[in-house]
Amino acid sequence: MRTVAVAGEQPYEVLVGAGAATRLGVVLAGTARAVVVHAPPLAAAAGAAVELLQTAGVAAEAVVVPDGEAAKTAEVAAGAWEEFGRLGLTRSDAVVGIGGGAVTDLAGFLAATWMRGVRVVQVPTSLLGMVDAAVGGKTGINTAAGKNLVGAFHPPAAVLADTDHLAGLPDAEFRSGLAEVVKCGFIADAEILRLLEADPTGRRDTGELIARAVQVKADAVGQDLHDTGVREFLNYGHTLAHAIERVEDFGWRHGEAVAVGLVFAAELAGQAGLLSRGEVDRHRDLVAAMGLPTTYDGDWDRLRPVMAVDKKARGASLRFVVLDGIGNPTILTDPEQAWLDAAWSAVSGENA
């Protein structure tokens, strides 16, 4: 079992390894009541969590929400709040989120908003959830205006990243999670890049990759919970990625969109003279070797206005996280239109 400490005003630990979820009863020992939020496919895992909690003396019940991004709506949140009220959840109680990134995003948001904040313990069951969504305290739901534009910063009491859950994860979902792992390699940890270049499947060194990616996020979150400084660098590749997800009505997996976004951001940095051609190609070659997309056959005119309402935008300024050399992220504000067009041309399916 590996433990990654996340610093800040509300410090907590991320446990990574086989059997991590069995620590749930210990983490919430002494809590009167807990609600376990999960989607239908995770009914068995949620049932096991409820049993663990009840054995530890915690009155626990499950609340079922839709699977995937369909969970992250105001309507679903409102329904869950009604369930919390029916169950008598108080400020001294807790919410447990079991599932992929969408469910842990929702569970965190529910915990942040119920009675202005109750504890949340995240039990991510996907690689994406373990290395990204469940860690860091960002919670949120989607609206017609964009992804995750409504939310709150609400650090969890603990994150239990049980790698046993990954055994039955479909290959496409595992690869999607790897996009967030390789992102951490490009912005901060060259060893992640080395491990993935040696084994692009990520299966050989899964535990180490998860722990390293979580450490990158923990380092940023510990300094900048509210996303006003270094934490922004974790959004590398995400400006285009979130736009793709929105335009595709979330039909693309998050990691697949991030993969294209990483290549786009590298091409943009190349246009700006910040990355060499070899460094740009390293992005494309590694992402492709991992089985992730490097192109997107979409409508540039539809994507640009969506990028303009990205969370990193400031007023009328369009801002991108780019690299000024591998491992050295920075912000590029209002890049020249010719650079944007050239970067888009490099990832457009029509020009692949």
Query: Which structure tokens are listed for 222?
Result: 């510990």
Q: Domains in the chain, ordered, with CATH?
A: 2-166 (3.40.50.1970), 224-351 (1.20.1090.10)
pLDDT tens sequence across 27-42: 999 999 999 999 999 9
Residue 98 CA to residue 247 CA, distance in Å, equals 28
Helix-, strand-, coil-residue percentages of the chain, each rounded to 5: 50, 20, 30
What does the pLDDT read at residue 312? 60
What does the pLDDT read at residue 314? 57
pLDDT tens sequence across 98-125: 999 999 999 999 999 999 999 999 999 9
Displacement of CA 42 from its chain's centroid (Å)? 19
Query: Which structure tokens are listed for 277?
Result: 């051609």
Name the residue type at position 174: F
Phi and psi at 145, nearest 5°, equal -75, -25
What does the pLDDT read at residue 229? 82
User: Over the chain, what is the mean pLDDT?
Assistant: 94
CB contact at 8 A, 83 and 93: no
Query: Which structure tokens are listed for 351?
Result: 């020009």
Residue 225 CA to residue 206 CA, distance in Å, equals 26
Strand 12-17 relative to strand 94-99, pairing: unpaired
Strand 146-153 relative to strand 138-143, pairing: antiparallel
Q: Is the pTM of this model over 0.85?
A: yes
Query: Which structure tokens are listed for 110?
Result: 């529910």
Displacement of CA 123 from its chain's centroid (Å)? 13
What does the pLDDT read at residue 328? 97
Specify the length of the chain in residues.
Answer: 352
Query: Which structure tokens are listed for 175?
Result: 């690869």
DSSP string, 278-314: HHHHHHHHHHHHTT----B---HHHHHHHHTTSTT-B
Mean pLDDT by 10 residues, the chain (352 residues): 92 96 97 98 97 97 95 97 97 97 96 98 96 91 87 96 94 96 98 98 96 95 80 94 92 95 98 98 98 96 87 71 97 95 89 48
Displacement of CA 284 from its chain's centroid (Å)? 21
CA angle at residue 113 from 234 to 52, to 5 degrees?
A: 85
The CA radius of gyration of the chain, in Å to the nearest whole number, is 20
88: which residues sit within 8 A by CB, 6+ positions away? 33
44: which residues sit within 8 A by CB, 6+ positions away? none
Query: Which structure tokens are listed for 154?
Result: 């609400």
Strand partners, 120: 95
53: which residues sit within 8 A by CB, 6+ positions away? 24, 25, 28, 34, 36, 60, 96
What does the pLDDT read at residue 352? 45
What does the pLDDT read at residue 316? 64
> Which run of H or E residues covers position 261?
helix 254-271
Residue 156 CA to residue 224 CA, distance in Å, equals 15
